[in-house]
Structure 1
Amino acid sequence: MYLCQKLISGLATIVNIETATKNCSVSIAKEGVILGMQELNDGNYSHAEKLHPFIQQVVNEANISLKDIDAVAVSKGPGSYTGLRIGVSAAKGLCFAFDKPLISIETLHSLAHKTTIKDGVIVPMLDARRMEVYAAVYDAKYSQVREIKAEIIDENSFKEYLENGKVYFLGDGAEKCKEVIPHENAVFIDGELPSAKEMASLSFDKFKKNDIEDVAYFEPFYLKDFVVTPEKKR
């Protein structure tokens, strides 16, 4: 188990890894300021091929080597089972190889930071197939006001928030909610997926607080069990 024996302070260079959706995204940041960034969303899960080259590219952009980083941050989920496994495995591998602490970032919290609001609430949501999504609710200061759930969307979803003000939906799960939630207070933000860009400041905040994970035992937050669909007999 990795234990940090002293209060962490000063400068910190952190590699951030985001693979919870089809967006394969890596950044490297110093004190939360991005020094290098690589990401690809080609509509497929290309993480197995792209992730490690992206990691090497961002450290090259920052003109340092992996042994010089101070921590590795990874998007913890919920999201794609396979994507999360690939991201967490890569992050843990770096931590073990270079004896660095591991930081985990909630995927929906990071996604919520892709928009800025003055009032109302933010509902980041990820597609969980059919009419189901992974969603949470955050206020204008990004404080979580409702826990993360796997839920089936219908006309009554988020009604208590919609009746009190604007509700900003974003993420690939929001796409299928437009026709189901026609409320006048519903605002849909298109085209946003979790990214290592928003992770940079969040991981630095956790680093300063010494909020790290046990590298050996850390597992992604799947929210739901992975179910293998049997192959149909021909």
Structure 2
Amino acid sequence: MKLLSMDTSTLVMGVAVFDLETRKMLGEMATNLHKNHSVRLMPTIDQFLRDLDLKIDEITHLAVTSGPGSYTGIRIGVTTAKTIAWARRIPLYSESSLAVLAMNGMRFDGLVVPMFDARRHRVYTGAFQFDRGKMDEKFPQQVIAMDRWLEQLANSNQPVLFLGDDVIRFREEIETALGENACFGTPAENIPRPASLAWLAYQKWSQHEPPEHKNFAPNYLQLTEAESNWLKKQRKEGMNG
């Protein structure tokens, strides 16, 4: 039994194949480029499986990141995964893109904080801590103003490892707020790994957690601009009515 994982929630596009029976990662591929995931994802999966001498029929399980991140990227990954799962009639598991990135800090003794820029000086983020390989969510995943987020982290009085390519935009502010407790990932650690997504999906499968329902949808952590504008319009019309 083999699980195919895919992540398109950020600029990173990654795929991996994990053998559920032998617990062996058969392969992993990731790029971090300003290129169209919708054009590249399926050809990449096809070539990747060829490189591993695998056929799509040998894939028995799927995993995908559900967000947060790029609205377009998340939709591409989720739609592709759901389409394959429906066509092949195989189970699909999902995981937060923040949790996947946090896996790069598994060996860090302190809070692990993955972070994506959410614009207007806000971030998609959360705080995790690892104990004997188990990941605990210490602060909920959320969209939050950066100054408020740093205040919460400073009050925890713990070393904090910040992960993600967007962290550099806030580095000076982070260092001012946290001082010596501020730690930063290496370039390799700032990239979410599809192999980590596959491992998290394996843990769900091995613990008999149910796969996603057919109505599974992305988790953006906030409304898209179009959805927000629609709700504002509905409220305004309701007040005028």
User: What TM-score comes out, normalization by structure 1 length?
Assistant: 0.85
Q: Please point out which of 121, 137, 146 is paired with 1:144.
A: 137
Q: Please point out which of 75, 83, 96 is paired with 1:93.
A: 83
Does residue 184 of structure 2 align to residue 188 of structure 1? yes
RMSD: 1.9
Does residue 9 of structure 2 align to residue 20 of structure 1? yes
Gaps of 5+ in 2: 230-241
1:209 paired residue number: 207
Whether contact under 8 Å (1:168, 1:186) holds in the other structure is: yes
Shift of 1:214: 3.7
Whether contact under 8 Å (1:45, 1:83) holds in the other structure is: no
Rounded Cα–Cα distance in structure 1 between residues aligned with 2:166 and 2:127: 14
- Summarize the Cα distance change of 1:45–1:133 in structure 2 as closer, same or farther, 3 Å threshold: farther
Q: Please point out which of 148, 156, 159 is paired with 1:166.
A: 159
Whether contact under 8 Å (2:94, 2:212) holds in the other structure is: no
AA matched with 2:142 = K
The count of residues paired between Structure 1 and Structure 2 equals: 216
AA matched with 1:17 = M
State the Cα deviation string for residues 127-171 of structure 1 (Å, max 9, x = none).
11242111111113321111101011125251122x2x2110111
Rounded Cα–Cα distance in structure 1 between residues aligned with 2:204 and 2:140: 20
1:71 paired residue number: 61
Comparing 86-95 and 22-31, the one that deviates more = 22-31
AA matched with 1:15 = L
Shift of 1:190: 4.2
Shift of 1:209: 2.4
**Superposition pairs for residues 117-156 of structure 1, below 5 Å?**
117-141=107-131, 142-154=135-147, 156=151
Rounded Cα–Cα distance in structure 2 between residues aligned with 1:158 and 1:195: 25
Rounded Cα–Cα distance in structure 2 between residues aligned with 1:176 and 1:190: 15
Shift of 1:53: 1.1
Shift of 1:205: 1.1
2:28 paired residue number: 37
Question: Which structure ranks higher in relative contact order (CA pairs < 8 Å, sequence separation ≥ 6)?
Answer: 1
Rounded Cα–Cα distance in structure 2 between residues aligned with 1:207 and 1:92: 17
AA matched with 1:38 = M
Stretches of 4+ aligned residues off by more than 4 angstroms: none
Rounded Cα–Cα distance in structure 2 between residues aligned with 1:175 and 1:74: 26
Shift of 1:226: 0.8
AA matched with 1:21 = T
Shift of 1:30: 0.8
Shift of 1:223: 0.5
Gaps of 5+ in 1: 1-11
- Summarize the Cα distance change of 1:212–1:193 in structure 2 as closer, same or farther, 3 Å threshold: farther
Shift of 1:77: 1.0
Shift of 1:118: 4.6
User: What TM-score comes out, normalization by structure 2 length?
Assistant: 0.83
- Summarize the Cα distance change of 1:157–1:173 in structure 2 as closer, same or farther, 3 Å threshold: farther
Rounded Cα–Cα distance in structure 1 between residues aligned with 2:108 and 2:71: 34
AA matched with 1:86 = I
Rounded Cα–Cα distance in structure 1 between residues aligned with 2:162 and 2:56: 37
* Percent of aligned pairs with the same amino acid: 30
